[in-house]
Amino acid sequence: MAAHVFSSAAEPSLLRLAGEGGSRLRGQFFRPCPVTSPGRESQALSDDFDFQEGLKSVKTMLHQNHKDKREVMTNIDHLKRLCIDHYFHDEIDEAMNTCLDLVHSDDLLDATLSFRLVREAGYDVSAELAFKTISLGLVWMHGLKSREGNPGRESAETGVIPRDFNP
């Protein structure tokens, strides 16, 4: 969004630096910042419009993605890491309600990501559940690495713990 702030059709005039007497900057010029130049209010309005369009686009994306729960949780995580989640509070709450069951997922990534986001959202989720899921996943992965000629190798690459696994 901010990249086009510095482009302009007409170049601002060059101004001499003040304090030329005895200065090492004698004879140098500078360009005033386009954002603070007079007559640039239309650019600020354009930036605000682009920002509003971006917000609408992200809100639409959050409303449409409820089928792939991992993608929803990943998008929420990205918004939180960018510190712009406060613009999407209602959409995030709605998405979190649809993704609560991922805490009990067999996929280690889904379980840990959803556990963290659900706890940050203020839901009461037991830490024992996360510890059990993480421990089970780590024991399972360690068991796969210690065996040679492992028939479950493809499941190790996906990170999905088989239902019949018993440590």
pLDDT at residue number 81: 93
Question: Is 164 inside a domain boundary?
Answer: no
Q: Which of 52-56, 87-91, 153-157 has the lowest mean pLDDT?
A: 153-157
Q: What are phi and psi of 155, to 5 degrees?
A: -75, -25
pLDDT at residue number 136: 56
Q: Answer whether residue 10 shows pLDDT above 50.
A: no
Residue % of the chain over a pLDDT of 90:
8
DSSP, residue by residue, 82-101: TT-GGGGHHHHHHHHHHTGG
Question: The whole model's pTM is what?
Answer: 0.51
Question: Is 117 inside a domain boundary?
Answer: yes
Q: Sorting pLDDT into bands at 50, 70 and 90, what band is 63?
A: confident
Containing structural domain, residue 58: 52-146
Which CATH number covers residue 66?
1.50.10.130
Structurally, how many domains does the chain consist of?
1
Question: Is 86 inside a domain boundary?
Answer: yes
Q: HSE-up of 123 (CA within 13 Å, CB side)?
A: 17
Cα–Cα distance for residue pair 44/56, rounded to 1 Å: 19
